[in-house]
Amino acid sequence: MKKEINIWWALTPIVVMIVVMLITIIHLEQEPHIPLIIGTSIAALVAWRHGFTFKEIEEMMYKGIRLALPAVIIIMLVGLTIGSWIGGGVIATMIFYGLKILSPTYFLVTICIICALVATVTGTSWGTMGTIGVAGMGIGLSMGIPAAMIAGAVISGAYFGDKMSPLSDTTNLAAGLTHTDLFEHIKNMFYTTIPGLAIALIVYAILGRKLGTGGTNAADIEQIITALQEHFVISPYLLLVPLVVIVLVIWKVPAVPALVVGILLGFLSQIFVQGGSVSFAVEVLHNGYTIDSGNAMVDELLNRGGLESMMYTVSMTIVAMTFGGVLEYSGILQAIMNRLLQVVKTTGGLIASTIGSSFLTNATCSEQYISIVVPSRMFAKAYQQKGLHSKNLSRALEDGGTLTSVFIPWNTCGVFILGTLGVHAFAYAPYAILNFTVPIISLIFAFTGWTIAKLSQEEMNALKNQEEAV
């Protein structure tokens, strides 16, 4: 017989996982896989202690992994994309023209805006980071800009666009789960997200002014450009490859076939434009591109990509979602949420609890989709009881869930960024300005009451009639 899990039992696997994680990452300087496995084991024991069979617990793990499978496919395709675009000279061409056009002073602002625009029209932060972001890292590093700063600007722009795009899966998920009109939800997010982007751009402009006086000098940049020209055919026609992928996504072609087209175009470019053999092009898809140009910076930029480069990311995603599956389906997470609802008394406290719960879910279940799904279930009724419009809940879910996922190294988003941009979450966190300012702005609005929409009496009566009919 299954027994209700109390708050202390529910907190045990989470506390153990976090403590072991901190010791492993900070003190031992090792990877986060083992702490997550330990946390999964403790969560399984708690579930077994409360009446679940080991077969049921095993099924919980499988459910968690199934949720991650679409992300795993995208991760592998991005690895193939990076490899094929480097081999095909696409990345080299983007770096070449980027170095010709952009300056270090305005680079962070420019790359943030470009990523914001691309993510808005495509609806995908991952796709933006895996294409425009990778090229941006190459251009910025060639200019002598620290990798953490570049990654932070790319992430801020990509997540702004992902959050504000009607094509975004997380935006549609938050609106759908809370029964909020999609465009009403997006309009309501303007209040927190636009100021967040403005603050980010101001910070990047200030950082850019400092970078403009140092970093890589003109001679170093010229050496990089020369090395790129010596080892790749540089052609503006190669810029059509990323453009085709962006256009396909704008036309609402799903991410998987759009990325496959990009991989195929990169593969063909390596053979017919760069003059590589079919055998080497296939090897690049699997193991990534290798080059010994004689220029250390160029080698560092372009020795990467391929399917194998993403296997760390894939394994981390699977392990993290195993832990998340047990927490979600055993009721451990629900026990924590229920306790939170017992102590929440004010509107500000309710919204703050939603944001905090979304962040906690990101840290424990390691998946931003779950950070939207679980709190939306737990808090919907409480918002209605306080006479709050559902768009307050949908905005809080995105402010606390979508944006904070990047700060958790073992979350699928943090792992993806490490695999794609090559920067650890702890390194880029201070520079992902939008991602931490928006939740702060959202909390300020929650406690001041500004932009918090109330239900009209007619809307409250309509909701009551719906519940009675059900």
Least Cα distance to 32 among 17, 44, 53 occurs for 17
> What does the alpha-carbon distance between residue 335 and residue 47 come to, in Å, rounded to a whole number?
12
CA distance 400 to 388: 18
**36 vs 51: CA distance, rounded Å:** 23
| Phi, psi (deg, nearest 5) at residue 388 | -100, 140
- 454 forms bridges with which residues in the sheet? 388
Residues whose CB falls within 8 Å of the CB of residue 172, separated by 6 or more in sequence, listed in order: 166, 182
SS3 call for 454: strand
Tell me the two tokens of residue 379: 């808090």
Return d(Cα 455, Cα 352) in angstroms, integer: 19
Residue 374, CB half-sphere, CA atoms under 13 Å: how many? 34
> How far is residue 68's CA from residue 322's CA, in Å, rounded to a whole number?
9
User: What does the block give as tokens for 23?
Assistant: 């010791």
Output the pTM of the full model. Answer: 0.78
Q: For CA atoms 237, 238, 241, 242, give the dihedral sign.
A: negative
In sign, the C-alpha dihedral spanning 266, 267, 272, 276 is positive
Q: At what angle do helices 90-101 and 240-250 cross, to 10 degrees?
A: 100
pLDDT at residue 470, as a whole number? 45
Stretches where the chain sits below pLDDT 70 are: 1, 167, 212-218, 459, 461-470
Taking residue 155's Cβ as centre, other Cβ atoms within 10 Å add up to: 32
